[in-house]
A and B are shown apart, each in its own frame.
Chain A
Amino acid sequence: MTDRVVVTGIGIISAIGKNTDESLQHFRSATSGIGAITQIDTIHKTNLPVAEVKYSNRELLNLLNIANKKCNYTRTSLLGMFAAKQALESAGIHSVKKKKTGLVSANSVGGMDKSEVFYATFLGHPKKGKISNIVGHDCGDSTEHIADYLGIKEQVTTLSTACSSSANAIMLGSRLIQHGLLDRVIVVGCDSLTKFTINGFNTLLIFDKEACRPFDATRNGLNLGEGAGYIVLESEKSAVESGKKIRGILSGFANANDAYHQTASSPDGNGAYLAMSQALSMSNLQPNQIDYINVHGTATQNNDLSEGIAMKRIFGETVPRFSSTKSFTGHTLGAAGGIEAVFSIMALEQQLIYPNLRFKTPIPELQLIPETKLIEGAGIKHILSNSFGFGGNNSTLIFSAA
């Protein structure tokens, strides 16, 4: 497996914009996408802030030029199609047939946005409820819509490992290329906000009623977000052959399991430690070569402490500069790893480090201070990005400058 896997395209939609330019503007002006719930009918509308994509499904259909199609797309599909197409265009791919091109997508709750509408009728009246609202329930549905929209047939699959889903999709995409099975893969994930996840995380009492404060001593939970992030991975050979601009190199990755608790992270951050150290070892980098960490940083008590402990175990007292972009986008669950991979590539290209908004006081046990101001000309070569999920599923990706 000597041929390197590189990134040649990126596409994104989140609460801070529908492309990389809009996202950058938000980072530069330190404007987060967190605000009131407007797209979902829930009793939590007034008390739980979220990071919504600022377009209705109708508007997304128009943006995608498919408003006339009869298909009852889930919001997850629409977000995914939007970002995946953007990634393809940004990679300058006009025909997916020219090379062996696959799609590996990830999400955490599939078409739940429509399922919950269906069940509201169906549960009381088993013969009622619009049946087209349930056919997109499974996680594979959005992937097939994206594949069909892009014309991809070669390899189509879906991963779901909660909040590390799309980081794992990137690993799989890379391995499919490294094994010579595909030349390039459109990879990562999408998730939409739903009543199901809003109420689900609410039962865990891990929502902040205000905008979240990752890695702050007073952090009080996360805000949910939605969106999609896709990247185009190609073998270096394929990219060079076709004269593509290499946007970044995927130089290391690892998935490890915390094996501690179904939802909570272990006190010693063992899963996170294993994921980071194995990814470093794969990339042949020393810890001190990492210039920036895009932390998982959900702003829950448990995650940030456990992740911080794991970072200290790896980096000692010289933890690299770090920030949580979830202070802008909220926690986009299955899309998070993908969105943050796109941010990592943007950071390498623009030489930026993003601010960790609303941080004031370090966590006493850690004394770690994230970057709170945007840094331009950051001089970064290697970025480490963490994504951790339920089921103890911990993943680390390392992106390096081309």
Chain B
Amino acid sequence: MSQLANELKTEIIKALNLEGVSPEDIENDAPLFGEGLGLDSIDALELIVLLDKNYGIKIDSAADGKAVFHSISSMVAYIESKK
């Protein structure tokens, strides 16, 4: 879990250009959207591509992505369920 979580945090910071944020700043269970990291719908689309490109996992619509991208923990759980 923690290795994948850290990997994801680094990838997200890079993909979303989160300047000044380090992996340690992102808590595993904290919401990524709205409050928390303050991500929005465009970021959700970026994350969909990130999962496809780096993990070969396809999500077809932004609505489906909502639950998956709730937090780092939910993303990790989703990726592991698809392995």
Contact = CB atoms under 8 A, between A and B. Distances in A.
- A–B contact via C-beta, under 8 angstroms: yes
B48 interface: yes
A263 interface: yes
Contact of B48 (A205, A261, A262): A205
Given A203-B49, A263-B41, 11 more contacts: A203-B45, A204-B45, A205-B45, A205-B48, A205-B60, A205-B61, A205-B62, A261-B40, A261-B41, A263-B42, A264-B41
Interface residues of B, number: 9
Interface in A245-265: 261-264
Interface centre among A203, A204, A205 (most CB of B within 10 A): A205
Interface string B36-54: 0000111001001100000
B2 to A, nearest CB: 31
B43 to A, nearest CB: 12
Nearest to A220: B61
Contacts of A261: 40-41
A263 B45 CA distance: 12
Interface string B1-41: 00000000000000000000000000000000000000011
A261 B45 CA distance: 15
Contacts of B41: 261, 263-264
Main secondary structure of the interface of B (DSSP, over half): helix
Chain A interface residue bracket vs B: under 10
A262 B41 CA distance: 10
A199 to B, nearest CB: 12
B62 to A, nearest CB: 6
Interface in A325-359: none
Contact of A262 (B42, B61, B62): B42
A3 B41 CA distance: 46
Nearest to B49: A203
B15 to A, nearest CB: 13
B18 to A, nearest CB: 17
A89 B41 CA distance: 46
Which 6 A-B pairs have CB atoms at the shortest separation, nearest pair first?
A205-B62, A264-B41, A205-B61, A203-B45, A204-B45, A205-B45
A227 B68 CA distance: 39
Contacts of B49: 203
Contacts of B40: 261
Nearest to B40: A261
Interface in A197-249: 203-205
9 contacts: A203-B45, A203-B49, A205-B60, A205-B61, A205-B62, A261-B40, A263-B41, A263-B42, A264-B41
B4 to A, nearest CB: 25
A264 B45 CA distance: 13
Interface string A275-318: 00000000000000000000000000000000000000000000
A44 to B, nearest CB: 15
A85 B62 CA distance: 43
A263 B60 CA distance: 19
Contacts of A263: 41-42
A203 B60 CA distance: 11
Interface in B35-83: 40-42, 45, 48-49, 60-62
Interface in A167-212: 203-205
A226 B82 CA distance: 40
A53 to B, nearest CB: 29
A263 B42 CA distance: 8
A203 B47 CA distance: 11
Contacts of A203: 45, 49
A263 B43 CA distance: 12
Contacts of A205: 45, 48, 60-62
